[in-house]
Amino acid sequence: MSEKRVILELGTGNDLYGQDYTKAARRAVQDALHHSSITLFSKLGIDHSEMRVEVTIGVQHPDAVDCDLVAQDLPRGRASVRAVKGGLDVEDAGAGSRHVVATAAIEAWLPDQAGKYKTSTPE
């Protein structure tokens, strides 16, 4: 059965002092999750385990993100996380450090539900 993307949420996160890319990534995921209220599962009787979740994290140093740790923050579905070049590092020359900004895109996929439900119109 083919899948359809049913949700796309975006978020940003940062670590202003620790220069920790994983911390910034986890904060970006939490930001994206807080934008979403997924009521369709209970309303349509769909089991959360049917949902496949793909997370893409954008940071300047993708290899510095612990993707397994980020995946643990996802409360539903079968999650996979990958880090790619993106985000933003803001240099703080006075402190000799940088502020790390991460972006997250969370995609949720379900088996195609076409033809499974009928819509009704208000009378």
Give the pLDDT of residue 43: 74
Q: Which residue stretches of the chain are H helix? A: 21-33, 40-44, 67-71
| 20 vs 45: which has the higher pLDDT | 20
**pTM assigned to the model:** 0.86
Residue written as token pair 């140093």? 61
* Residue 98 in domain: yes
Query: What would the two tokens of residue 107 be?
Result: 């995609």
Residue 99 lies in a domain: yes
Query: 122 lies in a domain?
Result: no
Residue 4: the pLDDT is 84
Note whether residue 64 is domain-resident: yes
Number of domains in the chain: 1
pLDDT in tens, 7-40: 889 999 999 999 999 999 999 999 999 987 677 7
pLDDT at residue 1, rounded to an integer: 64
Q: Would you say 65 and 21 are in contact if contact means Cβ atoms under 8 Å apart?
A: yes
Domain that holds residue 37: 3-111
Has residue 121 been placed in a domain?
A: no
Q: CATH no. for residue 73?
A: 3.30.1330.20
Q: How far is 82 from 109, CA to CA, in rounded Å?
A: 16
| 120 found inside a domain | no
Give pLDDT tens digits for 69-123. Answer: 999 999 888 999 999 999 999 998 988 889 999 999 999 888 877 777 676 777 6
pLDDT tens track for 104-117: 999 988 887 777 76
Reduced to 3 states (helix: H, G, I; strand: E, B; else coil), residue 25 is: helix
On whether the CB atoms of residues 93 and 4 are closer than 8 A, the answer is no
Side chain identity at residue 113, one-letter code: Q
Answer whether residue 123 is part of any domain. no
